[in-house]
Amino acid sequence: MQIYFGVGCDGAVFPDFPGQGQGAVDASVVGPRGLLRALEIQLGLTGPISNEAVRVAAYAKKIQSLSSRGSCFFSESFDSDPWATAQTLLAWRDDLIAAGWDRSPTGAKRIDDLASIENEGLVIPAGFADRLCLAIGSLRTSPKLALQEVHLVTPRELLPPQYQRLLIALEACNVAIIESKAYEGSREGDLSRAQNFISTGKIEPLTADGTFVMLEADTSLMAAEAIADWLASGTDDELSDTLVVDPDGDTALLDQALAARGLPLLGQSAPSPWRGALQVLPMAFAASWAPFNANALLDLLLLPRPPIGKYAAHVLAYALSREPGQGGGAWTRAWAKIETNLQDRFKDSDVAEKEIAERLKRWKEWTTPTSHRRTEGMPASVARTIAGRVGNWAIQTDGGKGDPLLLSVATAASAMGDAIEMLGQDVLPALTIDRLIEQVLAEGATNPGHVATAGGLRSVAGPDAVWAPARRIIWWNFRGPGDRIRPAPWSKRELEALASAGCTLESSAQQAARISWNYANVVKMAHERIIFVRPALSGNEETTSHPLAHQLQPLLIKPSSKISWRAETLLDDASPTFAGRKLAREPISVIQPPQVRGQWSLPETIASKLQDRKESATSFERLIDCQMRWLLIDVLRLSPGRFAEIPGADQLLGNLAHEIANQVFQAGVTPVSDIVRVQASDKFDDLVSAIAAPLLQPEFAAELARAKVKVPQALAHLSRILEKRGIELVGTELERDMDFADGLSVTGRLDMVVRHPSDGVGVVDLKWTKSDKRRRAELKDGNAIQLATYGAIADGSETSAVTGAYYLLNQRRLIAPTGSFLADDEIEPTRSLSDTWDAVVATWKGWRDLAQQGIAVAAGVEGAEAHFPSDLGFEAKKEPCTYCEMTGLCRVAAENN
C-alpha cells in the first residue's frame, strides 16, 4: 500500500490519484485525517468519532467540577461564558496533546491548570490529537503494517512536529518515507522565468508571452466572464488538463459563466452554517423563548421545507403577518382553517380522527411550544426535546434519499442532544444553548444542488491540494490576506517549560515557511501556463494583494513586464487576445426594453376584470394617485412578491389600539370613560401577547411602556367626548358593503360608527401616528378620501357621505370638519366630506371608463396629462409618484434615472 501525504490533501486534490492518469491500485492521496484513519484501521483502533460539541460539553463538565474547588486562571471567564471558555481551552489542550504534552504539570501556572483539568474525573471523548498520539504510541510496538511507502507532498522539514513524529514512528515499522521530487517546471517563456525567480531569486525580464498572466477585474463577475471565454476558446484537449485553484472553496459565480458557455461545472461549494434547512435548529429554539418571537416563527414557517405541512405553514404565516401573536383572532381562525382542511383531506380515511389529532399535536409542538424566559434558562429536558424534534423532522423529510443537507441537520441535532446529556445540568442558560447551536452548526454544509459535471476541468480548494504538475493552472480569487498563521497563546516562559517536558509546538515562522512553500509550489506545478485572477472588489470591499503577489513584486515591477490584462477589455474589443488565445466574441442584437410613455394600451381581457369588483378606501387612494398603479395592483392583483412580514412597531401599536377599542366599546350604549379606561388597561397585556407580540421584545420596551399608558388614556378621552355629547355607539370594526350608480361597489371595515340623537350617524377612524400633520392637511384640503369613503358606506339610508372624524390616539385629538357634531378640534375644510366623496366617485368613473376603452395612463410621465379624462374630481398628478412599487413596469423610474 502506498500513500501520498500532504497537509492540505484531506479533500479534493489534483490529480485525484497516482499513476499518471491511468489509475492506481492500493494507493491514495490523503491528508492528516486520511492518513490517521488508514493507520487506525491497520492498528485496530477504529471506533466512533465524537462530535466536537460532545467533547466541549465533557470538557466544560470537568472544568465546572474543578472550578467549584478552587480558583484557576480561567475561572472568571468560565463563570461568564462556560461554553466559549471550554471551547477555547479544549483547542489549546488539543494543540498541546498533538505537540507531545503528556498531560503533566510543567511549573507554568496556566499549563498546570490544564493538567488539573485532565486529572478531573470524567474522560473526554478522544479528538483528532488524542487519536494521533494513540496511533503513534501503538506504532512503537513495531506492528506489521500493510502500508509500505509514504510519499511526501509537503517537504518533511516543513511538516508540523506531530506529523514528523508520526513519520519517525512509521519508519521504525519499516515504512519507507519518500520525499517528493522537485518538479522541473516549464522550460521556456515567462512562466519559466517566474519559476526560476521563485527558486533562485534571479530576475529575468518578462516578455508578456501569455504563459504567466495577471487577470485584473473590477468585479468577480467580470473576471468570471473573462475566464469562461478563455476556457471556451480552447479545445476539449486543452480543457482536460486545466486546474482551477479556488482558496475560497466556492465556484458558484464562475460556474454560472461556465454553464452559459456549455462548459463543465467545477461544483465547489463552501460549507456554510446558514443553509436553509440548517436554520431549523436555531429557529426552533428562538421560537421557544419568552417573550414570543414572532419573527423567528415566521422565518421557520417560510422555509422552503417548513417543519409542518406547507398549507398549514402558509395559513399560520399569513395570520402572523396580520396579528403577530398567539391566541388572537387571526391565530385562532388560522388553526380552525387548518383543521377544516385536514378533515377534508382525510374524510374518506378510517383513521381520520387519529391522523388529524396526531398532526395537529405535532404541528402545535412546533408553533406553540412552551416558552421559557432567557433570563431563567431552559430545562435541559426541554432543550433535548426540541433538538430531538428537529432531528426527527430532518430524518422524516429526507425519507431515506440521503439528502446531505437534511442529514447534516439530523447530525447536528443529535450532537446537540448528546452534548446536553453530557453537560448533566438540569437547567441550561440561554447563552449556553446559543453556544451549543453555534458549535453543532459550525462545520455547516455545502450546497447540495451545486455539483461538478463531467469534463476535464478540475478544481481544488487550496494551493496545498496540488501535489503533481498540471499543464494549465488558474488561480481564482488571487487576493489577500491568504492563509492565516495561528498565533500561539503561550508566553516565552510557558513555551520553554513545554519544550523541557518534550512538547514542541510549531512556531509562527515554521507555519509561514510552509504556507509560503505551498504558494510557490503552485507556480512550479504549472507546465504550460498560469493565470492569476484578482478582482478589485470582494462584495462591497476592496481586495488586498495576495502574499505571493508581494513575493513576485520584484519580478513584476520591471517596465517590460506587461503581463496584466483587464477583464473589462471584453467590453470594448471584439476579438481580444488573452493568455495566448484569441477570444472570439460575437455581437448580439440589442433589444430595447419598453420605453417610458404616458399612455399604454390594455388587453381586451381588462374589461372583464373591471366587472363586479369592489373598491375600497385604499384602492381609491391608489387610483387618485395613479390610474396605472390602481390597474396593476387592485385590478390585475400584481404584487412585489413579499408573502408575509411582521408589521413595524407603529402599525402594531395601531392594530393593538384598534383591537382594544373594539373590545371595550360596547355597541348600543354611550361610552363611560372610567369604565373604558379600566377595561383597556386590563386587556392591554393579554392583547399584546395575542396580536402584537413583537412589542414585547427588549428593543421596543420604551414604546410599549408609553403605549400602555397612552392607549387607555386615549380611549378614555374619546369616550369622555362621546359621553359628554350623548353620542351612542353603533358598533366597532363593522363590515360595510354598498352599491352605487354606474356599477360602483364599495366595501370597507369601519373602526367606529356612532349616532347622535339629533344629528344622525357619524364615523370615527382611529389612527396611531407620530404626527397629526398629515391628517389635518387631508381634512383642510378636502383630500380625506378614507374618511369620505367610510362616511359614504356607513349608513345605507343616507344618500351622501355622513360626517366623520379622525381620532389621533397618540395625540388624543378628535379632529373633524368645522360644524361636525364629532368635532372636538375643528378643521376648516376647502370642501366637505360629502363633496370629497362626490369627487372620489367622479374620479373613479373617469379612470374606470378610460380603462374600459383599453387605455392606461402613467401619472408623472411627461405628456401624460394629455390623456387625462376631463371630468376628474381630483386633479391628476403631474409629478412622478413619491413612492410606488410598480415603477419598473410603467418605466417612470427609467425616465428619472
Question: Has residue 18 got a pLDDT over 90?
Answer: no
Q: Which of 439, 402, 394 is nearest to 420 (CA)?
A: 439
Range in 51-65, 593-607, 708-722, 768-782 with the lowest mean pLDDT = 593-607
Residue 136 covered by a domain: yes
Q: What is the pLDDT of residues 381-428, one digit of tens each?
A: 999 999 999 999 999 998 889 888 999 999 999 999 999 999 999 999
Cα(785)–Cα(622) distance, integer angstroms = 11
- Confidence class for position 66, pLDDT limits 50, 70, 90: confident
Query: Which residues are CB-neighbours of 763 under 8 A, at least 6 positions away?
Result: 750, 751, 752, 753, 754, 787, 790, 791, 794, 802, 803, 804, 805
Question: Has residue 210 got a pLDDT over 60?
Answer: yes
In the beta sheet, which residues pair with residue 766? 807
Residue 475 covered by a domain: yes
Residue 758 covered by a domain: yes
Q: Which 3 state secondary structure label does DSSP give 158?
A: helix
Q: What is the CATH number of the domain that holds 735?
A: 3.90.320
Burial letters for 457-488: b for 16+ Cβ neighbours within 10 Å, e otherwise? Answer: bbbbbbbbbbbbbbbbbbbbbbbeebbeeeeb
What is the distance in angstroms between the CA of the first residue and the CA of the last residue of the chain?
Answer: 68
CB atoms within 10 A of CB 410: 20
Q: Which of 870, 801, 810, 809 is nearest to 829 (CA)?
A: 801
Cα(766)–Cα(810) distance, integer angstroms = 10
Reading the block at residue 643, the C-alpha cell is: 408573502
What is the predicted pLDDT for the residue at 558? 65
Which residue's entry shows cell 431549523?
280
Residue 512 covered by a domain: no
- Confidence class for position 895, pLDDT limits 50, 70, 90: very low
Q: Length of the chain, please?
A: 897
Reading the block at residue 894, the C-alpha cell is: 427609467
* Residues 174 and 193 reside in one and the same domain: no
Q: What is the mean pLDDT of residues 556-563?
A: 68
* Residues 404 and 316 reside in one and the same domain: yes
Residue-number span of the structural domain to which 334 is assigned: 277-440
What is the 3-state secondary structure of 230-254? HHHCCCHHHHHCEEEECCCCCCHHH
Question: Has residue 896 got a pLDDT over 50?
Answer: no
* Residues 28 and 163 reside in one and the same domain: yes
Question: Has residue 76 got a pLDDT over 50?
Answer: yes
Q: Which 3 state secondary structure label does DSSP give 212?
A: strand
Q: What is the pLDDT of residues 262-273, one digit of tens each?
A: 999 999 998 888
Question: Has residue 524 got a pLDDT over 70?
Answer: yes
* Residues 336 and 458 reside in one and the same domain: no
Cα(159)–Cα(510) distance, integer angstroms = 9
Which residue's entry shows cell 359614504?
792
Query: Which residues are CB-neighbours of 351 under 8 A, at least 6 positions away?
Result: none
Question: Has residue 217 got a pLDDT over 90?
Answer: yes
CB atoms within 10 A of CB 538: 16
Cα(378)–Cα(812) distance, integer angstroms = 43
What is the predicted pLDDT for the residue at 325? 92
* Residues 9 and 75 reside in one and the same domain: yes
Residue 487 covered by a domain: no
Q: What is the mean pLDDT of residues 868-886?
A: 79
Reading the block at residue 478, the C-alpha cell is: 488571487
Question: Does 489 sit behind a cis peptide bond, omega within 30 degrees of 0 on the bond before it?
Answer: no
Question: Has residue 182 got a pLDDT over 60?
Answer: yes
What is the predicted pLDDT for the residue at 110? 94
Query: Which residues are CB-neighbours of 318 under 8 A, at least 6 positions away?
Result: 334, 644
Beta strands in 53-188 (DSSP E): 149-152, 176-179
Residue that finishes a domain, picked among 410, 440, 470 = 440
Burial letters for 204-219: b for 16+ Cβ neighbours within 10 Å, e otherwise? Answer: eebeebbbbbbbbbeb
What is the predicted pLDDT for the residue at 487? 87
CB 304, CB 276: distance < 8 Å: yes
* Residues 18 and 153 reside in one and the same domain: yes
Reading the block at residue 694, the C-alpha cell is: 413583537
What is the predicted pLDDT for the residue at 867? 84
- Confidence class for position 893, pLDDT limits 50, 70, 90: low
Q: At what angle do helices 773-781 and 785-793 cross, to 10 degrees?
A: 70
Q: Which of 816, 777, 711, 793 is nearest to 744 (CA)?
A: 793
Reading the block at residue 808, the C-alpha cell is: 389621533
CB 118, CB 105: distance < 8 Å: no
* Residues 20 and 84 reside in one and the same domain: yes
* Residues 423 and 298 reside in one and the same domain: yes
Range in 556-560, 802-806, 859-863 with the lowest mean pLDDT = 556-560
* Residues 211 and 84 reside in one and the same domain: no
* Residues 301 and 236 reside in one and the same domain: no
Q: What is the mean pLDDT of residues 516-530?
A: 93
Q: Which 3 state secondary structure label does DSSP give 372?
A: strand
Q: What is the mean pLDDT of residues 205-216?
A: 91
Reading the block at residue 713, the C-alpha cell is: 388614556
What is the predicted pLDDT for the residue at 598? 81
Residue 320, H or E segment: helix 310-322
Q: What is the mean pLDDT of residues 243-263?
A: 93
Range in 400-404, 428-432, 496-500, 887-891 with the lowest mean pLDDT = 887-891
The one-letter amino acid at 634: D
The one-letter amino acid at 718: L
The one-letter amino acid at 703: E
Please give the mean pLDDT across all residues of the chain: 90
What is the predicted pLDDT for the residue at 727? 94
Q: Measuring CA to CA, how many Å separate 100 from each of 87, 103, 500, 502, 545?
A: 20, 9, 11, 6, 37
What is the predicted pLDDT for the residue at 803? 94
Q: How many domains does the chain have?
A: 5
What is the predicted pLDDT for the residue at 866? 83
Question: Has residue 560 got a pLDDT over 70?
Answer: no
DSSP string, 755-777: EETTTEEEEEEEE--S-SHHHHH
Q: What is the mean pLDDT of residues 511-516?
A: 94
- Confidence class for position 635, pLDDT limits 50, 70, 90: very high
What is the predicted pLDDT for the residue at 880? 67
Residue that finishes a domain, picked among 135, 158, 179 = 179
Residue 20 covered by a domain: yes
Residue 523 covered by a domain: no
pTM above 0.75, yes or no: yes
Q: Which 3 state secondary structure label does DSSP give 738?
A: strand
The one-letter amino acid at 392: N
**Which region, left, alpha or beta, applies to residue 404 given φ > 0 means left and ψ of -120 to 50 means alpha?**
alpha
Cα(512)–Cα(509) distance, integer angstroms = 5
Reading the block at residue 248, the C-alpha cell is: 475560497
What is the predicted pLDDT for the residue at 642? 58
Residue 28, H or E segment: strand 27-30
Q: What is the mean pLDDT of residues 109-128?
A: 90
Q: CA 124, 126, 130 angle in degrees (round to 5)?
A: 120
Residue 205: HSE in the Cβ half-sphere, 13 Å Cα cutoff: 5
What is the predicted pLDDT for the residue at 686? 92
Cα(499)–Cα(483) distance, integer angstroms = 27
* Residues 544 and 629 reside in one and the same domain: no
* Residues 158 and 243 reside in one and the same domain: no
Q: Measuring CA to CA, how many Å separate 45 from each of 39, 132, 135?
A: 8, 11, 8
Q: What is the pLDDT of residues 317-357, one digit of tens each?
A: 999 999 999 989 999 999 999 999 999 988 877 778 888 99
What is the predicted pLDDT for the residue at 21? 56
Q: What is the pLDDT of residues 773-824, one digit of tens each?
A: 999 999 999 999 999 999 999 987 767 889 999 999 999 999 999 999 999 9
Residue 491 covered by a domain: no
- Measured in whole angstroms, how far is the alpha carbon of residue 612 from the centre of its chain? 42
Q: What is the mean pLDDT of residues 503-532?
A: 93
What is the predicted pLDDT for the residue at 671? 85
Q: What is the mean pLDDT of residues 603-627?
A: 90
Select the more confidently predicted residue: 32 or 645.
32
The one-letter amino acid at 655: N
Q: What is the mean pLDDT of residues 642-663?
A: 88
Residue 697 burial (C-beta neighbours within 10 Å; 0-12, 13-18, 19+)? middle
Q: What is the pLDDT of residues 4-17, one digit of tens each?
A: 999 999 989 998 88
Q: What is the mean pLDDT of residues 854-861?
A: 86
Reading the block at residue 107, the C-alpha cell is: 511549573
Cα(297)–Cα(291) distance, integer angstroms = 12
Question: Has residue 495 got a pLDDT over 90?
Answer: yes
Cα(380)–Cα(399) distance, integer angstroms = 29
Residue that finishes a domain, picked among 440, 469, 498 = 440
Q: Which of 366, 243, 385 is nearest to 299 (CA)?
A: 366
Task: Output the furthest CA–CA distance in the chain (Å, rounded).
Answer: 112
Beta strand 803-808 with 577-578: parallel, antiparallel or unpaired?
unpaired
Beta strands in 124-255 (DSSP E): 149-152, 176-179, 212-217, 242-245
